Amino acid sequence: MKFLDGAPRFLFFTGKGGVGKTSIACASAVALTREGKKVLLVSTDPASNVGQVFGLSIGNTITDVPAVPGLSALEIDPEQAADAYRERIIGPVRGLLPEKELASITEQLSGSCTTEIASFNEFTALLTDETTIAGFDHVLFDTAPTGHTIRLLQLPGSWTEFLDDGKGDASCLGPLSGLEKQRTIYAGAVAALADPQRTRLVLVARPQRSPLAEIARTHTELADIGLTEQHVVINGVLPAPDRSDALASAIYDREQAALAALPGDLRKLPLDQVELKATSMVGIDALGTLFITESNTAPAQADSETAAAVPEAPLSALVDELAADDHGLIMCMGKGGVGKTTIAAAVAVALAERGHQVHLTTTDPAAHLTDTLAGNLENLTVSRIDPAEATAAYRDRVLTSKGAALDEQGRANLAEDLKSPCTEEVAVFQAFSRIIHESRRHFVVVDTAPTGHTLLLLDATGSYHREIARQMGENTNFTTPLMRLQNPDETKILIVTLAETTPRLEAETLHADLERAGIHPWAWVVNNSIAAAHPTSPLLRRRAGTEVVEISSITSTHNRSAIVPMLATEPVGINALNALTRPSETTQSNLPPT
């Protein structure tokens, strides 16, 4: 593997959830130890489980891996790090500020940016304190910070004062309060990251459009701030099939097309491809095979056994239940790459075919609803909220209003804060709020939505919801967009995921985030299930067997769900989308009893 040739002391593995960063990092650690190197493997990914991979308990202390001489591991729990980080900031003012203000500060420190910075705070010692890493030839990190986080840590000035003066906005400023004391340490860590003699960034993706787009963005973002020593690893590439299985052939063709369309900037980087393996990367023996091209014709679990383990849960059953009303807001939520656009379009088409008026809209910049629909349908209206336009307008408004009274450094701080992912969520939510009221008259189906943290942040900081409440008065009836989302009679949230560990864990986090905001997800949709497609390819049949555990976890935890099989052809066009919600004669739903 080219990315391990002449490896520097620090290797960072980054990419979207579910692309296999942990497997690549663990296999790399094993490969380096077999060259006689002493290696420390550090995980900051809440969805990865290095301990499980190696079959031992690791935790928050450096632990030797007995089965791999020369390897030690450390798992930094992001939530624990975030809790400790929040307490360092909130603890000194607890008892001094009103509970309402403490709740607002706590919510500002509850988002993904806080977790990211808190984790970064934990592993900066591993970059700057030689005592901690003495004796290790290589330190490998499973998940790296984003360019946004690194830029924030590079900024001078007092963030605490910036916040206390009320100059900040509903975004990522909260996590930056109280960082001044550690700026020297952070400067050393950033310098280590930017030094190609010490650090290499490994951008990990699957051979699919969304993960490849993610690492292209990450590449540009990190290169712009001087982190130029980058390699690309495309993981899980399906080997050329024998063409006897239509599903395997279709997957192969789609992946090769995605790789052929790889952005030019990524093509210039050293690139490795790792073949899809039939089994999970758990155990030393499995890890030792990850970088080896092998035959995938080993016997698979009987298809009848796999099929029996996958419950019949058609998407059509959810649509039938939704169609019992004549209006409402339906939101398809989930991480990138799980197929939210397809599911949203399929639900919208099915409702329109049943004679309902439907408005289908998306907030996903990568989604192309018109391409997915590939035609017009009576009763169906399609639109798109452009996140870039909404965010630019929002930034301009904030810089014009709150930035007017700031000095040059203050405006620089505010402008940097407004580059955060949270800013886009807030801006898109405000644009999205304008169409929510339509759902009182007909169906509105939305592809992609803001997280629960963003919704709570808007409320906690006195944004739209509190401002309306103040203006209307205590004895006046009013309904805000947040209240509509919290009303299960008006809003149905469909969480879309895949039958894989990391996407499922990320979906569980999203579910909890929404619950925290008082929004109760209505159903889960497991999309692109190989097990539900009953493939004949030996490799895919073995992969199907690994999905069964994930599907069982979902269906046993969430009592309203649907399982959509992976299709041999892309679900593009009205007829293809209709097929996703067309019940078979034998399907039965796993919906809860009414």
Do residues 235 and 204 make contact, with C-beta atoms less than 8 angstroms apart? yes
Beta bridge partners of 42: 74, 141
Annotated active-site residue 174? The verdict is: no
Which of 112, 497, 502, 529 is labelled catalytic? 502
Residue 105 CA to residue 7 CA, distance in Å, equals 42
Same fold, 2-296 and 308-580: yes
Annotated active-site residue 586? The verdict is: no
Residues 6+ apart with CB under 8 A from 562: 313, 314, 315, 317, 318, 523, 524, 525, 526, 589
pLDDT, tens digit only, all 594 positions of the chain: 999 999 999 999 988 777 888 889 999 999 999 999 999 999 876 555 677 788 788 877 889 999 899 999 988 877 777 787 788 778 887 888 788 777 767 766 766 667 767 777 777 778 887 888 888 999 998 876 666 556 555 554 444 444 445 444 445 545 555 555 566 777 787 788 889 999 999 999 999 887 888 889 889 888 888 888 999 999 999 999 888 888 899 999 999 999 999 988 899 999 999 999 887 777 788 888 889 876 554 444 445 455 557 888 999 999 999 999 989 999 998 877 788 888 999 999 999 999 999 999 887 655 566 666 766 788 999 888 877 888 888 888 888 887 787 888 778 777 877 776 667 767 777 777 777 788 889 999 988 766 665 565 545 443 444 544 554 455 555 466 777 888 999 999 999 999 988 788 888 988 988 888 888 999 999 999 999 998 888 899 888 988 998 999 999 999 899 999 988 777 878 888 888 887 654 334 444 443
Which of 15, 16, 17, 20 is labelled catalytic? 20
- CATH for 2-296 is 3.40.50.300
Which of 21, 167, 335, 419 is labelled catalytic? 21
Which of 14, 15, 17, 18 is labelled catalytic? 18
Annotated active-site residue 45? The verdict is: yes
Which of 22, 210, 448, 561 is labelled catalytic? 22
Domain 308-580 has CATH 3.10.20.600: no
Q: Which amino acid is at 393?
A: A
Annotated active-site residue 83? The verdict is: no
Annotated active-site residue 129? The verdict is: no
Which of 45, 169, 245, 459 is labelled catalytic? 45
User: Which sequence spans correspond to the domains of the chain?
Assistant: 2-296, 308-580
Which of 14, 16, 23, 439 is labelled catalytic? 23
User: Would you put residue 524 in left (φ > 0), alpha (ψ -120 to 50) or beta?
Assistant: beta
Annotated active-site residue 473? The verdict is: no
Annotated active-site residue 18? The verdict is: yes
